[in-house]
Amino acid sequence: MSDKKLVKFFCNKLGRDRCFTGDWAKWMRFTYHYLDKQGLQDALKKKLIEEATEVITAIHKEEIICELGDVLEVIDGLCKAYNIEKSELFAQKEKQYQKRGGFETGYYVEYIEMAEDNPEISYFRAPENADRYPEE
């Protein structure tokens, strides 16, 4: 690094394992620390949201492929962090598919109505779902 004045950018996010190597890393200085198991798990969950948001903003097929690749990399990291075998993940995916199908049709659910005594109503009214399913 030269003697020029440094400009600091705060990242506060999980970095890839080899982000400190390569040609582009020669002109940057990193400040970082290692996460413990719980910290890594939490950071990977946040990283998944970050990468999924980048899928939303991608426009062209090449961009979508790149961002989906990043999402898959985070999923791989989560599997390792939680000691989840890919076979377990794919089995759960298949179970959900068999039970409720996939997303090929393009149904966009605007709202759901149900009777007050429907046992499923407690799911939609649970505090953790208040933002997902606001009640009229």
For residue 1, what pLDDT band results from cuts at 50, 70 and 90?
A: low
| Residue indicated by tokens 């995916």 | 93
For residue 76, what pLDDT band results from cuts at 50, 70 and 90?
A: very high
Q: Do 70 and 64 contact (CB within 8 A), yes or no?
A: no
Instruction: Tell me how far apart the terminal alpha carbons of the chain are, to the nearest angstrom.
Output: 58
Higher-confidence residue: 129 or 88? 88
pTM above 0.75, yes or no: yes
Query: What is the per-residue pLDDT for 38?
Result: 95
Mean pLDDT over 91-116 rounds to: 89
* C-alpha angle 64-70-73 in degrees, rounded to nearest 5: 140
Mean pLDDT over 10-32 rounds to: 77
